[in-house]
């Protein structure tokens, strides 16, 4: 019986810490969403989000193809394959965790871009921004002035637009990094 008490106490402590973190994260999300009130910034982040749906990455991959020709075909195919792996990973995790988006939990969150699905954890946009961004930089470091700001804008857009919490974005970045490192090792 005495062995159970420390586990219960530890569980309660972890629950309190998690609750404190989630409360802090909700405040951070709401503050990031305040940027949404500034029309020109809202448009920049909405555009980054829209381009992060895929079009921006396709254009950068085509730029890679245009500059490197046939030698870029295999890396681009690996990128496409890694994108499919990323979609499968984040959709599976989203279904398992079922974490609702900030806009569903906080009426003060302003939204101008419709979410692609109802769950927020992890951020698929951030996963792809990290994954594709790293792969593009490994293949063509000269694209850094385009890729790095674009990837950061896509990731930041998720919180500014009220679609994700900080932990959603961080988890998406970690997953994207993992997939990118695996993908680059295949080349």
The pair of structure tokens assigned to 14 is 């972890």
* Structural contact between residues 129 and 175, judged by C-beta atoms closer than 8 angstroms: no
For the segment 98-109, what is each residue's pLDDT rounded down to a tens digit?
A: 999 998 888 888
Nearest to 172 by CA among 148, 154, 160: 154
Task: Give the max Cα distance, the chain.
Answer: 69
Instruction: State pTM to two decimals.
Output: 0.87
The pair of structure tokens assigned to 26 is 């909700």
Class of domain 4-186: mainly alpha
Phi, psi of 119 (to 5 degrees): -105, 155
The confidence band for 95, taking pLDDT boundaries of 50, 70 and 90, is: very high
For the segment 125-172, what is each residue's pLDDT rounded down to a tens digit?
A: 999 999 999 999 998 899 899 999 999 999 999 999 999 999 999 999
Beta-bridge partners for 14: none
Higher-confidence position of 26 and 14: 26
pLDDT at 114: 83
Rounded distance between C-alpha atoms, residue 181 and residue 42, angstroms: 32
Mean pLDDT of 48-70: 89
Beta-bridge partners for 100: 119
């Amino acid at each position: 019986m005495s062995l159970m008490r420390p586990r219960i106490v530890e569980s309660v402590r972890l629950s309190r810490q998690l609750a404190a973190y989630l409360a802090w994260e909700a405040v951070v999300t709401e503050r990031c969403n305040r940027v949404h009130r500034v029309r020109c910034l809202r448009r920049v982040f909405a555009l980054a989000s829209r381009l992060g749906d895929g079009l921006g990455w396709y254009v950068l991959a085509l730029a890679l193809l245009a500059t490197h020709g046939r030698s870029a075909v295999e890396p681009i195919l690996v990128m496409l394959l890694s994108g499919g792996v990323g979609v499968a990973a984040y959709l599976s995790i989203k279904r398992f965790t079922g974490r609702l988006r900030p806009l569903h939990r906080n009426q003060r969150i302003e939204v101008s871009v419709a979410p692609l699905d109802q769950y927020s954890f992890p951020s698929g946009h951030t996963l792809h921004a990290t994954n594709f961004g790293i792969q593009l930089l490994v293949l063509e470091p000269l694209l850094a002035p385009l890729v790095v700001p674009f990837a950061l804008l896509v990731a930041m857009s998720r919180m500014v637009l009220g679609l994700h919490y900080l932990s959603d974005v961080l988890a998406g970045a970690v997953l994207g990094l993992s997939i990118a490192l695996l993908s680059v090792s295949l080349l």
